[in-house]
Amino acid sequence: MTADPINAAEGTAEMTERVDGSAAAGEQWPMLRDAVKAALGSDPDCFDMAGVWVLADLLESVDPAVTGWNLELAEAAVLLFGEARVGPEDRALAWLRYAQRSASVLAGPLSKQSCTASWALGRLCQRLGNRREAAAAWEVAVLAHERRKQWDEAGEARIEWATCLHRSGSCDEAVAVLRQAWDLPKFGTNYRSPRVPIECISLLLLCGRRDEATALWSEAEARKPTPLAMSWALEMLHADEASGTRARDARAHRQVCAHRGRDVSAPRVPQQRRRVVPLLGVGGCGHG
């Protein structure tokens, strides 16, 4: 896990210097807030593309490498490059790095703004194959959600974080990230979604660690997830199997797996859930 996931690549002197310039930065773009509202539009399900292009034009002449930290610019960058996904990937990466660091400095490292920017940066880095940077961004998102006790969102971010680590060959670290969820009060008492433990089991199986997966399944079932939650998890599992996702993951993971030499064939998914024995290629069922 990253020792200092927040702004790890940014020096303290530069951070302070940019804070000093943030007020001036905001004054240079008085239309920015209106442009963001226009891009969001009135339909919550889609962007107003005319507004998006106006916003893109406003940011076109701005260099995020030297611009003072500014929350409105950060919000605009997340909307444009993270949500609308407009513009070249190298520029998107520079802007989303700016957005995360700007939000961290001005609103707080685990603020809502920092969390939102971290999700956007994590997604982009994941697409680009920058898995270590993606993992660091997801870690920030996890910590921010947990601070606000947003357990479901924290669980989703934790899965993304672990997936990045696992695909980089940091198999034990990925499993540890998911196992950390067991230490959280919410996971230990009222939390009933099987998603996080089942994803952990899936990673273990991709490494051929079937005995550990079996033990973890027993532990997950002992927490008595609701039938609805289990049904939802299994539906996702069968959808992944039908699409060939797990088989592709298994083939790709062989190249980087820290547990090479074990059986890392794609786990088999049974057609019905049986509570007697654990899962996926070890005689029972589960979620991959």
Average pLDDT over residues 238-266: 66
Q: In this predicted model, which residue has the larger pLDDT, 192 or 151? A: 151
What is residue 87's predicted lDDT score, i.e. its pLDDT? 87
Q: What is the DSSP string of 14-63?
A: HHHHHHHTHHHHHHH-TTHHHHHHHHH-S-TTS--HHHHHHHHHHHHT--
Q: How confident is the model at residue 29 (pLDDT cuts 50, 70, 90)?
A: low
Q: Is the dihedral of CA 112, 196, 194, 242 positive or negative?
A: positive
CB 278 within 8 A of CB 284: yes
Place of tokens 């973890």: 216
Predicted confidence (pLDDT) at residue 73 exceeds the cutoff of 70: yes
Q: Can you tell me the distance from the alpha carbon of 88 to that of 93, in angstroms, rounded to the nearest whole number?
A: 9
Domain ranges of the chain: 1-148, 169-288
What is the pTM for the complete model shown? 0.74
The predicted-structure confidence for 98-150, as pLDDT tens digits, reads as follows: 999 999 999 999 999 999 999 999 999 999 999 989 999 999 999 999 999 88
Question: What is the C-alpha to C-alpha distance for residues 134 and 197, in angstroms, rounded to an integer?
Answer: 21
